[in-house]
Amino acid sequence: YYDAKVVPIKFDQESERYIIVLHDTTKEKQLDKLRREFISNVSHELRTPLTSIHGYAEALLDDDLSNKELVRKFLGVIESESARMTRLINDLLDLEKLESGDAKFNFSDVNMCKVIERVVTILEPLAEDYGVELYTKCECKSTVYGDFDRLVQLVLNLVDNAVKYTSIKETGEKKVFVKCYGKEDKLVFEVQDTGPGIPEDAQKRLFERFYRVDKARSRKVGGTGLGLSIVKMIADKHNATISFESKVGEGTTFRVYFKKSSQETTDENK
Ligand code: ADP
C-alpha cells in the first residue's frame, strides 16, 4: 500500500514541475489490520461467556426457583463462565505486560526439578479428577538462568493443556509424562501426552493468540486460547526454543530447550 502526494516545485518563473512522493504504508496497514482483528477476537471471546451468564441469570429470574437441581445447574454455569472470563482477562493483561516489557523478571539459577515439583503439586488433584495419570522424571542436573515464577507458569500451561486435552479422549489410556534432562549444552523440559493429538494443518497456527483447534472442545475444558502464546512469550524471554510433535489419535509432545546456566552436577538439590 502507498499514500501518494503531489508536490509542485518551481524551477524558474515559467516552468513548474511536480514530484510525486510515495509513502509505503504497508506496515501501518498490516498493524492496523492486526489491531482490528485483535479487538474483534477479544470482544467475541468476552461476549461468549457473557451471553451464557446473561441467559442463565435471566432464566433463573423468570423461574419460580422450586427446582433446586436446575437452579444449581444454572448457577454452576454462571460460576464457571465468570471464572473463565476472569482467566481470559488475566491472561490478556499478562500477555500485554510480557509484550510491552513491563513484566518484571527476577533472574537467578533455577532448578527445573523444583519447578516441575511445584506444578505437579498444583495439577495433581486436577489430573486425578480427570482420570489422567501424571508421571514425572527429573534428570536435569544443571540449572537454568530464569525467573522461577514465570518458569512455573510456562510448565503449568503446558502440563495443564496435556492433562485437559488428554482427559477428553473417549478411549485408550490417559497418561501424561513430564520430564527434564540434559542434552549437549541444553536442558530440555518435555511434556508428552497420550491425548487426541493436533492435526497437521493446525500445527503452524498453534501459538497464535486465540487459536484453537476445536473451539467447543477448548471451551469445554475452560480454555482461553492464550495459554500457548504466553508459553511462547516466556520462552522467548529466556532465549529458549520450543518444538513439538503430534499425531492425531496418538498424542503430543512439547519440548522447551533452555541454555544450561551451570555445569552438570550430581547434587540433585542444587
Ligand atoms: P486453550 O486455552 O484453548 O487451551 P492454548 O493456547 O493453550 O489455548 O492452546 C491452543 C490450542 O492448541 C488448544 O485450544 C488446543 O486445541 C490445542 N492444544 C494445546 N495443547 C494440546 C495438547 N497437549 N493436546 C491436544 N491439543 C492441544
Cell digits for 27? 506496515
CA separation for the pair 174, 123 (Å, rounded):
15
Residue minimizing CA distance to atom 2 of ligand 1: 223
Q: Could you tell me which of 48, 30, 124, 45 has the C-alpha nearest to residue 91?
A: 45
Residue minimizing CA distance to atom 10 of ligand 1: 212
Ligand 1 centre and the CA of 212: distance in Å? 6
Residues with CB under 6 A from ligand 1: 161-162, 165, 193, 195-196, 198, 206, 211-214, 218, 223-229, 252
Say if CB 180 and CB 112 are below 8 A apart.
yes
Ligand 1 centre and the CA of 58: distance in Å? 32
Write out the chain's pLDDT in tens, 270 residues: 888 999 888 777 777 788 899 989 888 888 888 888 888 888 988 998 999 999 999 999 999 999 999 999 999 999 999 999 999 999 999 999 998 888 889 999 999 999 999 999 999 999 999 999 999 999 988 999 999 999 999 999 999 999 999 999 888 899 999 999 999 999 999 999 999 999 999 999 999 988 888 887 777 788 888 999 999 999 999 999 999 999 999 999 999 999 999 766 654 444
Which atom from ligand 1 is nearest to the alpha carbon of 166? 24
| Phi, psi for 121 (deg, rounded to 5) | -60, -40
Q: How far is CA 5 from CA 15, 32, 152, 263, in A?
A: 20, 21, 53, 61
Cell 502464546, residue located: 229
- Reduced to 3 states (helix: H, G, I; strand: E, B; else coil), residue 67 is coil
Q: Which amino acid is located at 252 in the chain?
A: T
pLDDT of residue 270: 41
Ligand 1 centre and the CA of 34: distance in Å? 22
Query: Ligand 1, from 87, 159, 212: best to mutate by most atoms within 8 Å of Cβ?
Result: 212
CA separation for the pair 202, 210 (Å, rounded):
13
In eight-state DSSP terms, residue 239 is: T
Q: Could you tell me which of 184, 178, 60, 171 has the C-alpha nearest to residue 124?
A: 178
pTM of the model as a whole: 0.83
In eight-state DSSP terms, residue 267 is: -
pLDDT of residue 141: 87
Residue minimizing CA distance to atom 14 of ligand 1: 212
ipTM: 0.98
Cell digits for 160? 495443564
Which atom from ligand 1 is nearest to the alpha carbon of 215? 14
Q: How far is CA 181 from CA 80, 119, 130, 199, in A?
A: 37, 17, 27, 28
Helix axes 26-62, 68-100, angle to 10 degrees: 160
CA separation for the pair 3, 249 (Å, rounded):
51
Q: Could you tell me which of 230, 148, 243, 162 has the C-alpha nearest to residue 196?
A: 162
Cβ count within 10 A of residue 84: 20
Which atom from ligand 1 is nearest to the alpha carbon of 221? 4
pLDDT of residue 269: 44
